[in-house]
Structure formats: structure tokens, C-alpha cells
């Protein structure tokens, strides 16, 4: 989208430099990424960045006016966790890069979550792009590394000894995001612990370190709570619904409260119209909408071409939304003259003392398929996968 930077990157690109990016990430984390790393950064204009931020600020303002009792309705009773908090510690928001009727490139809201994404990885990824392609340093995120680190440390570790703070996941070694866990450990000095390794005595939780029980006082939660029910024969000593003396970062209830559940409640020119399935107006054309389950992760259950027969067969219609389709615009030219589409996730933190969240980083995802998921792309496609966005002047 900025021809001079795109041309410079494509001229400098080589398979050797791509391997170098992946090698540096492996060196920083101690492991190979388990997901596809895009060969290219996403380079956009400052004007587009302003549109992103304007939409985000409007959405944040609207969310802050939604009554707490409305947000509580989003939580399935079987997933409700005690000791809820007034606001989440994390806020992420996804925008597709689209084209409007006037031919202008603009963002369109895809999804939003109050759940931590790859914060540590994305900062390392941005730094790595700049190491291999130094010209990107001129248009990178202006937040210094130490400031980024201090924000995350204050949020996740707080005043506790890092030894008493854990990153909680279920079978973390199997997760595609394991590289982010490793980088988070190095960044904050905390340990990643599997839910099955957490023990409970009264209201206190413990994990084992060097053969000794260590009390857990803060949990950096990376477990998608409702996915636990899909793991057969899972045995744990600690249930999320237990009353325990820990500080959640972020509280599991917010995974449901800031989710697709909010999309029908939001209004902005960059927010596609959405309806709960049971409230879908008869005068709307179903073919213009995408069907999404409220409580799914990583795009599972999304139907790009719902039919009346499909929607009629759904019994729990209140747990689905229909979101007006948006068209991702292929604007990122690769070295072969082909073009990729992309979406950007803005990564905010929300400190307990702040009225509004703070933007720390971004996460980009590139694709040449209909869905922004590498699995839907041709195996030999390039300019696809996880990326990072840079913003510059034309």
C-alpha cells in the first residue's frame, strides 16, 4: 500500500533472509514456530492507521457504556467463574483490510476479544523483521522494548514475586502458540504450567518447582475455558469454578463478555452490521451474511455461505450471529506479482486503574484464501501466515 516500501522490501527479499527471520525467532525463543511465518510484513499508510485507531476508540467507548448486567448474559452458566472483575486486563480487536464502494482501502471489524494473544511473540517478531530488513526501523512501532516489557510486567506480575505467577495453559507443549509462552517466560521470569499440574489445598493453588510446592498468587490465563469440556478423560485437581485465592489476569469470564456477543450492539462505519440469529430481520438477504457461533476460537464453526436450511436447523439460535460479509482486498504484492489479503489484530492491555486500554503491539495475518487461516491456502503459497504491521508516510 506504500509503493516505495513494498518495492524496497520485495527487492531485498530472499529465501536466505526468510530463513534468517525464522532462525532469529528460534534463537530468541529456543524453539521453532509451530505456525506459518509470513515472508513479508504488512506495510500500510499512517492514514489507514488513523482509521484503525478511530474505529477502535469508538468501539472501546461504546463497550464502556454497556451495562454490566448485559455483559453478564454472555457467560454460559456452565462456564461462570467466581470473583469477576470490573474490566478485562487484555483487549484485542481484529480488522480486515477491505475496499469500500468508492474504491478506498479501509478497515472492517471482524472480531474482538478480552483474551491475551501473542504479545511477547509479536514484539520479538517486529524486532526480528527490523534486524533483517533495517529500513523497517524507520516505520516501526515507536514504543521502546523496555516500556513494552514494563507494561506487561506491571500487568501480569504486579507486585508479586515472579515465582508466584504462572502462565496457565492446558498441555502447553501441544499448543501452536508455545513459542509465545517461551518468550513470555524469558520476558517476565514466570513459568508456564499445565492445568493438570496445578494442585489445590483449601482455597490455595500450587505448582511444583524443583520438587517443592510453590503457591500460585496470579494466573496469566491462556486456557480457553469452554474448550476443556472437549478434552476426553481430562483429570484436574482444580476447577475454574472453584473459589480460590488467586488473581486472574485476565478473568475467564471476559472471554465471553468481550466477544462476538457484542457485535450486534456496536455501530460505526467500520463495523459491519450484525444480528443475533434469532433476531435476523426477514427483509435482510441471508446471502450477504456470514454465520458465526458466539463461542468459538480460531475461526472454528464459521460458515461463509449459510442457507435457510442451515440456519433453520440450529436450535440454540441465540448462540449464533450473522455478520454482514466484507471483502478482503488483495493489496500486498509478492515477488511473483500475485497479491495477498490480510487482517490486523490490535493488542491492547487494560490496567485496573485505567479508564481506557493502552495499545502495545499488533498482529498481522496474511492469506490468499477466502479465510485468514493458513490451512485454507495452497501449500506452496507465499506471503501468507503470521506477520506484523508497519505504518509509514506515502
Q: Are residues 229 and 361 in the same domain?
A: yes
pLDDT band per the 50, 70, 90 thresholds, residue 245:
very high
Q: Average per-residue pLDDT in the chain?
A: 93
Q: Give the integer Cα–Cα distance in Å for 91 and 257.
A: 11
Average pLDDT over residues 58-75: 94
Q: Are residues 139 and 288 in the same domain?
A: no
Q: Are residues 351 and 254 in the same domain?
A: yes
Where a domain ends, among 284, 309, 325?
325
pLDDT band per the 50, 70, 90 thresholds, residue 177:
very high
Where a domain ends, among 325, 341, 364?
325
- Range of the structural domain that residue 306 is part of: 274-325
Quick one: what percent of the chain has pLDDT higher than 70?
Answer: 96
Cβ–Cβ under 8 Å, residues 218 and 160: yes
Tell me the sheet residues that pair with 205: 200, 216
- Residue 316, phi then psi, degrees to nearest 5: -95, 65
Q: Are residues 117 and 248 in the same domain?
A: yes
Q: Are residues 170 and 286 in the same domain?
A: no
Q: Are residues 334 and 377 in the same domain?
A: yes
Q: Are residues 243 and 283 in the same domain?
A: no
For residue 338, what is its C-alpha cell? 500475485
Q: Are residues 103 and 158 in the same domain?
A: yes
Average pLDDT over residues 198-223: 97
The pLDDT tens digits for 269-281 are 999 999 999 999 9
Average pLDDT over residues 144-169: 97
Q: Nearest Cα to 122, choosing from 250, 190, 33, 54?
A: 33
Q: Are residues 101 and 143 in the same domain?
A: yes
pTM recorded for the entire structure: 0.93
Count of other CB atoms within 10 angstroms of residue 378: 9
pLDDT on residue 27: 97
Q: Give the integer Cα–Cα distance in Å for 391 and 394.
A: 10
Domain count, the chain: 2
Cβ–Cβ under 8 Å, residues 141 and 126: yes
Q: 140-177 as b/e, with b when 16 or more CB fall inside 10 Å?
A: bbeeeeeebeebbbebbbeeeeeebbbbbbbebeeeeb
Q: Are residues 220 and 297 in the same domain?
A: no
Q: Are residues 318 and 372 in the same domain?
A: no
Q: Are residues 179 and 321 in the same domain?
A: no
pLDDT on residue 101: 84
The pLDDT tens digits for 336-391 are 999 999 999 999 999 999 999 999 999 999 999 876 654 555 667 899 999 999 99
Q: Nearest Cα to 347, choosing from 66, 135, 134, 152?
A: 152
Where a domain ends, among 309, 325, 341?
325
Lowest mean pLDDT among 98-102, 131-135, 152-156, 376-380: 376-380
pLDDT band per the 50, 70, 90 thresholds, residue 224:
confident
Average pLDDT over residues 155-173: 97
Amino acid at each position: 500500500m506504500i509503493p516505495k516500501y513494498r518495492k524496497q522490501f520485495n527487492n531485498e527479499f530472499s529465501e536466505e533472509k526468510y530463513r534468517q527471520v525464522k532462525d532469529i525467532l528460534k534463537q530468541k525463543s529456543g524453539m521453532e514456530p509451530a505456525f506459518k511465518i509470513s515472508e513479508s510484513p504488512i506495510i500500510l499508510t499512517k492514514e489507514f492507521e488513523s482509521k484503525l485507531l478511530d474505529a477502535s476508540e469508538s468501539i472501546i467507548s461504546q463497550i464502556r457504556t454497556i451495562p454490566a448486567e448485559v455483559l453478564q448474559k454472555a457467560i454460559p452458566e456452565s462456564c461462570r467463574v467466581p470473583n469477576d472483575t470490573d474490566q478485562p486486563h487484555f483487549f484485542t480487536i481484529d480488522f480486515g483490510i477491505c475496499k469500500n464502494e468508492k474504491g478506498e482501502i479501509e478497515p472492517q471489524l471482524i472480531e474482538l476479544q478480552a483474551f491475551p494473544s501473542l504479545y511477547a511473540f509479536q514484539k520479538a517478531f517486529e524486532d526480528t523483521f527490523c534486524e533483517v530488513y533495517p529500513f523497517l526501523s524507520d516505520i516501526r512501532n515507536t514504543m521502546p522494548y523496555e516500556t513494552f516489557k514494563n507494561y506487561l510486567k506491571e500487568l501480569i506480575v504486579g507486585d508479586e514475586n515472579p515465582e508466584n505467577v504462572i502462565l496457565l495453559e492446558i498441555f502447553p507443549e501441544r499448543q501452536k502458540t508455545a513459542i509465545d509462552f517461551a518468550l513470555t517466560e524469558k520476558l517476565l521470569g514466570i513459568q508456564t504450567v499445565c492445568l493438570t499440574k496445578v494442585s489445590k489445598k483449601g482455597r490455595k493453588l500450587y505448582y511444583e518447582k524443583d520438587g517443592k510446592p510453590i503457591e500460585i498468587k496470579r494466573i496469566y490465563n491462556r486456557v480457553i475455558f469452554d474448550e476443556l469440556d472437549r478434552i476426553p478423560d481430562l483429570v484436574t485437581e482444580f476447577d475454574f469454578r472453584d473459589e480460590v485465592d488467586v488473581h486472574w489476569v485476565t478473568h475467564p469470564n471476559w472471554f465471553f463478555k468481550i466477544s462476538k456477543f457484542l457485535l450486534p450492539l456496536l455501530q460505526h462505519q467500520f463495523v459491519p452490521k450484525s444480528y443475533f440469529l434469532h433476531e435476523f430481520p426477514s427483509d435482510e438477504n441471508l446471502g450477504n451474511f456470514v454465520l458465526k457461533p458466539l463461542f468459538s476460537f480460531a475461526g472454528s464453526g464459521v460458515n461463509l455461505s449459510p442457507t435457510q436450511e442451515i440456519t433453520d436447523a440450529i436450535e440454540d439460535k441465540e448462540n449464533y450471529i450473522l455478520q454482514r460479509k466484507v471483502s478482503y482486498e488483495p493489496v500486498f504484492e509478492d515477488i511473483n506479482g500475485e497479491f495477498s489479503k490480510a487482517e490486523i489484530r490490535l493488542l491492547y492491555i487494560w490496567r485496573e486503574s485505567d479508564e481506557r486500554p493502552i495499545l502495545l503491539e499488533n498482529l498481522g495475518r496474511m492469506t490468499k484464501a477466502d479465510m485468514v487461516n493458513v490451512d485454507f491456502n495452497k501449500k506452496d503459497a507465499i506471503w501468507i501466515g503470521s506477520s506484523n504491521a508497519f505504518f509509514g508516510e506515502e
